[in-house]
Structure 1
Amino acid sequence: MQFVIDTHTHTISSGHAYSTLLENAQAAARKGLALFCTTDHAPTMPGSPHFWHFANQRILPRFLHGVGILRGVEANILNLVGDIDLDQRITEQLDWVIASFHEPVYRPADSRAHTQTLVNVIRSQRVHALGHLGNPNFDFDFETVISEAAKHNVVIEINNSSLSGSRKGSESRCEEIAAFAKECGARITTGSDAHFAYDVGNFNQVGQLLEKVAFPLDQVITHHPRVFLNFLEDRGQQKITEFSSL
């Protein structure tokens, strides 16, 4: 499978990443990406930027090194209610919002609590994607959550970093998640979760996993820029006129 969009990348602003936005854009261009999302960690993650970092993304150009830039965030899931740690007036200005569990912010509980939390995040309609769900520290009922995501047009991320050892025990879980998504018609997105520029656009493990489960291309929103942009517009985002030729 060919993926031309990376929907999960970090810059040095995240506090534990090591490249600038310009360096990430250069790497994206070298990989032949059409678009990538810049998704630094939201403020409750230790070391992350102030909310102004996200509010001010409107100043970013729409293209760097010939690659389209989508303004985004990896928000932290905060509680059972499904709150995230960025004010709605800011997330509504962004193009792309991932919501993820992170141990320093949401203390792992049990499968029932994690399941209810994710369902509430989905139903809030404040996020486009659920990030790195394969993490075994946050077990959940796959069928319940993925079916709910499909119902509410929230995509499931298959995270290359998780498949490369950053979250031990994720590999088999990601495969099962992909299989459930395939079965219930949920759509997925592909994210490198790059914390260094060289990893931007690296989907090696993602591609292998999706081929293994024979995942349908039409359920992958990152195989063509127009498919991805149509997804955003279907979710109520304003059309990004600078990308009209893509």
Structure 2
Amino acid sequence: MDILTNKENSILTITFNRPEKKNAITGAMYQTMADALRAAETDNEVRVILLTGSDSIFTAGNDLEDFMKNAAQFVSGDAENTPVVQFMRALSSAQKPVIAAVAGLGVGIGTTLLMHCDLVYLADNAKLTMPFSQLGLCPEFSSSILLQKIAGYHRAAEKLMLGEAFSAQEALEMGMANKVVPAAELLAYANQQASKLVALPAASLRATKRLMKASQTSLVNEVMQGELQQFGKMLNGPEAKEAFMAFFQKRKPDFSQFS
């Protein structure tokens, strides 16, 4: 199974489990996660959700080959029905506390999804990156507004425009994470924090989360929709085609011909 789900001690753990592909996410994996998140909403046995990968990699982001098979839906404006957008909607609207425990590489949505989690713990070997501009694309998952709110405009612009990787410590300093811990201790620490939440009144936690997010819910949804529309347009553009062709041909893309 490329996505593992485990329910224990009132904690639903969703784990990326495709190590041979650096946990790159396929449509089927997004669908499994979306279904798990939606089911958790009405499951009284689940009080906290934990997202994680292995101790060496969180996720390399979208499996580009698989993603391109469904690219037509983005281009046609039918992105809402895609598994990835179902996952985005399910995570961003989750009512129960969501914790992310990230070790190793977190690429693209492997970084942007963290902005929708309530608690984020990074291993000291974590390396995050949002290389949308390098692929001729634009930010997704409301990251164009959420990263500004978290880190300020200039830090957000640097990370989203240049698309360069940054360390766990820098992510912590930017306000993207709660704590950096040794990789060997990450999952245990995240579970410890999850257990603390499990012991608290569930209704109180849901109300607290709802109140904290209420002022930005409409904005996040509006920005996400705008990003999806722009993403679909750019996905069919010459820069993206050059970027993806270069990726599959294992060469450096040449954007000098485009203005």
In which range does the TM-score fall when normalised by the shorter chain?
A: 0.3 to 0.5
Give the structure-2-normalised TM-score.
0.33
Query: Which protein has greater RCO, CA pairs closer than 8 Å, 6+ apart?
Result: 1
Return the TM-score normalized by structure 1.
0.35
